[in-house]
């Protein structure tokens, strides 16, 4: 992501929270982390990045976003996490998610010493699960009551890709 993409990134993040809050488990207060100034701080961290793919027809808008971050704790530095993976609804099923996740995997592989990439996927997102499995991720855990919104429980699957 580049600084010029920050406002578009915040817009896509707001859309994803509105569309599938159970997938991102984020309340309105927590959404402040999507503010361009907060994202600019993240981008100053080593081994923390956001992959974006531009919308093919609308200049200045994003189609897909993927965050990746290496664990900062000494004994966990062999792990990285993909987070906030989202493709806008009108472009799903057209390869944007695959392209962005492939770029994220390539970036993480360039971080010496990282041997696994983790991702979490909502039980409400079968297309996302299919994407991750196509890329070689395997499920290692399932939580039936991961997020609870207005009294409704939502499941989550945890997946890992061995690099």
Q: What is the pLDDT of residue 41?
A: 75
Which fold, 3-162? Aminopeptidase (3.40.630)
Q: What is the pLDDT of residue 31?
A: 56
Q: Mark 102-112 as b/e (b = at least 16 C-beta within 10 Å).
A: ebbbebbeeee
Q: What is the pLDDT of residue 124?
A: 75
pLDDT, tens digit, 9 for 90 and up, residues 85-110: 999 999 999 999 999 999 999 999 99
The chain-wide mean pLDDT, for the chain, equals 88
pLDDT, tens digit, 9 for 90 and up, residues 49-62: 999 999 999 999 99
Spatial distance between the Cα atoms of 111 and 106, rounded to a whole number of angstroms: 9
Q: What is the pLDDT of residue 133?
A: 97
Spatial distance between the Cα atoms of 32 and 28, rounded to a whole number of angstroms: 7
């Amino acid at each position: 992501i580049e600084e010029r993409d920050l406002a578009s990134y915040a817009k896509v993040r707001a859309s994803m929270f509105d569309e599938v809050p159970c997938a991102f488990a984020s309340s309105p207060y927590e959404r402040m982390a999507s503010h361009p100034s907060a994202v600019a701080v993240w981008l100053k961290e080593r081994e923390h990045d956001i992959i974006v793919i531009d919308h093919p027809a609308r200049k200045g808008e994003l189609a897909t976003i993927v965050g990746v971050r290496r664990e900062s704790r000494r004994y966990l530095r062999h792990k990285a996490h993909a987070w906030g993976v989202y493709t806008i609804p009108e472009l799903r099923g057209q390869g944007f998610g695959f392209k962005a996740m492939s770029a994220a995997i390539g970036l993480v592989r360039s971080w010496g010493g990282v041997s696994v990439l983790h991702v979490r996927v909502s039980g409400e997102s079968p297309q996302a699960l299919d994407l991750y499995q196509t890329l070689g991720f395997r499920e290692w855990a399932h939580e039936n009551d991961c997020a609870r919104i207005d009294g409704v429980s939502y499941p989550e699957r945890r997946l890992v890709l061995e690099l």
